Amino acid sequence: MFVLFSSWRVHLHVIDTKKIKAALCSTSLLKPQKNPLGEFCGVNLLGLKSLFTEPGSSIWALKRKEFDPHFHTAGLVRGYNQISEIASELVEAISCDSGTNITVLMQQHVSSVIAAFIMNMEDKSEFISYTEKMANIFSGLSTRLRHKNTFWMPWAFSEVKKEVLSNLHDVRAFFKSFVLSLNFDEVNLNSCIGSIIKTNMEGDNLMIDLLINELVMFFFAGIDTSIHTISFAFYELLRNKEVLTKIEREIKLVFGDKQSLEYNDFNELKYLDDFIKEVLRYHPIVSSVARETGPSGFILCDKYIPGNTTVHINIECVQKSERFWTDPLKFKVERWIEPPTPFSFIPFSGGTRSCIGKKLALLEIKMFVSSILRKYTIDFDKSDLREIPTKNVITNRLGKDLIVYFKRREQE
Ligand code: HEM
């Protein structure tokens, strides 16, 4: 009873864009101290003291300053060749013999991007095999979260918990062996993995557990999100044939018969940019984010919010609100001709703790989608034309497999 009592908090849901901006840009509101992914299973999936889970202290600021340059344009230009190579591997891996589960296809290639870009891994195959375990962890934890009110019958979830813990143990063991295999004298301290190592040193001592937490966090934050955004993108391409045709035409016009593409070529795909924005508006992968007031409360746009309040920002709600969007429930790429109301489009959150991987994710989504459409036509089983519901497994995703039929384009 006491535990229940002590865990009572005030929860505030913010839906006005000015207040959302004030909350997200504030440096006094912090990330929740208790990560909901850790609360129910005794597991802290996103790693304690990682960039994602640090409430907002000076440690977070130091890490963010160190990591940021790798994710800005200059960092992406440096990593462009790695991503481009993976996009070419993806195009070659596509089979035209039978239907392809788009989410499964993306698992392998999106995780390759993280292995190469963040960890500089030469052999990515073992890393890739762990994405399956990540999917199992997510589904186990989401089962647990959905049934959190049945805490009085813990035995109902003991099997799920056992599986989550065993998979997480395997993922951590893999990262541990990766860390131990690194030759620290040879690691380039100006690379992303170099920065991750630097920020997890105490004096001359490497804090191995914290370093593993950071890597596990990038693994969870950077893979699932992009995989499911690309899956939603293919779903919308197949349902909106005129949009698909416009994108195919744009790719042909911009890429022509160039053999090798440069980073800047992708900046010319303006309609594809708008399409990806609409996918992220209509199918936000993260449905909400939260912040907490400290013990003395917080003034949010002239209104006093009491201490220890959780402030929720519902991304899905604001991105589909009639207050900020015309026909919000319609998938309409053309809406992006006009800029949206500030802070009504926040798939990567916004302000201080916005997604560090935003530009990387947008680049890989654009490169993967355009590379595929350049070489293949796509189609799907007509019975899939009906609405596929979204399901939430920690992140939002398609509620059923999307099977895509690829056909190699004739050389023109
Ligand atoms: C479509 C893809 C992605 C989406 C929709 C997405 C979404 C988000 C959101 C909404 C947040 C903010 C959470 C909050 O405000 O509490 C976030 C934070 C974060 N994301 Fe992403 N993300 C994506 C891709 C990536 C990638 C590719 C990486 C890494 C390579 C990444 C790494 C992170 C990290 C480290 C944070 C924590 C940043 C901080 O607290 O300073 N994300 N992401």
Cβ–ligand 1 distance for 46 under 6 Å, the answer: no
Query: What are the strands, taking DSSP E only, across 189-282?
Result: 201-202, 205-206
| CA pair distance 21, 313, nearest whole angstrom | 10
Ligand 1 atom with the shortest distance to the CA of 350: 15
353 Cα: distance to centroid of ligand 1 (angstroms):
9
Cβ–ligand 1 distance for 51 under 6 Å, the answer: yes
SS3 128: helix
Strands 201-202 and 298-300: unpaired
| CA pair distance 138, 146, nearest whole angstrom | 12
> Quick count: other Cβ atoms within 10 Å of Cβ 191?
18
Residues 6+ apart with CB under 8 A from 312: 11, 12, 13, 14, 288, 289, 290
Q: What are phi and psi of 63, to 5 degrees?
A: -65, -45
Residue-level pLDDT at 137: 85
Report whether 19 contacts 299 (CB < 8 A). Answer: no
Among candidate residues 122, 279, 259, 261, the one with its CA nearest the CA of residue 186: 122
357 Cα: distance to centroid of ligand 1 (angstroms):
6
Residue-level pLDDT at 2: 27
Residue-level pLDDT at 150: 52
Report whether 377 contacts 409 (CB < 8 A). Answer: yes
Residue-level pLDDT at 196: 96
Ligand 1 atom with the shortest distance to the CA of 60: 41
CA atoms within 13 A on the CB side of 177: 7
Residue 210 corresponds to which amino acid? L
Which domains does the chain show, CATH number per domain? 10-28+45-408 (1.10.630.10)
Mean pLDDT for each 10-residue chunk of the chain (412 residues)?
Answer: 46 94 94 66 72 87 96 96 96 95 95 95 87 85 68 63 86 92 87 95 90 92 96 96 98 95 96 98 96 93 93 96 97 97 98 97 98 96 75 90 94 61
| CA pair distance 340, 359, nearest whole angstrom | 19
350 Cα: distance to centroid of ligand 1 (angstroms):
10
Q: DSSP string covering 391-409, please? A: EEESEEEESS--EEEEEEP
